[in-house]
Amino acid sequence: MEQHQACQSCGMPLTSPEQWGTNQDGSKHAEYCVYCYEQGAFTQPDFTLEQMVDFCVPFLVEEGMQAEQARAMLQASLPHLKRWKAVEAN
């Protein structure tokens, strides 16, 4: 199983298998975190990229980042992740 350093949906660092999402059969899915991907599907399937940014900003602020800095970082990094590249390709 290929291991990614960050969730390919929200960008959360993936440092252990406990943080990995799950496939439909319950096995671990190393591309996405447990918060974004459960039972083989995205937990927020209708999220747009901008909604994901809005969703993630408070978590980074909680970790001590300024909201403006968090938003800028997410807007620069999330479009390069697998989930959002696939949306852009359509």
Overall domain count for the chain: 1
Distance of alpha carbon 84 from alpha carbon 49, whole angstroms: 7
Q: What is the pLDDT of residue 86?
A: 75
Distance of alpha carbon 58 from alpha carbon 60, whole angstroms: 5
- In the three-class reduction of DSSP (H, G, I as helix; E, B as strand; rest coil), residue 86 is classed as helix
The residue with tokens 């943080």 is: 19
* 63 assigned to some structural domain: yes
Query: Would the pTM of this model clear 0.85, i.e. be above it?
Result: yes
Q: What is the pLDDT of residue 3?
A: 52
pLDDT tens string, the chain, 90 residues long: the values are 455 689 999 999 999 999 999 999 999 999 999 999 999 999 999 999 999 999 999 999 999 999 999 999 999 999 999 999 877 665
Distance of alpha carbon 4 from alpha carbon 54, whole angstroms: 23
* 40 assigned to some structural domain: no
Domain of residue 80 covers: 49-89
How far from 44 is each of 22, 36, 38, CA to CA, in Å?
14, 7, 10
* 44 assigned to some structural domain: no
* 66 assigned to some structural domain: yes
Q: What is the pLDDT of residue 1?
A: 45
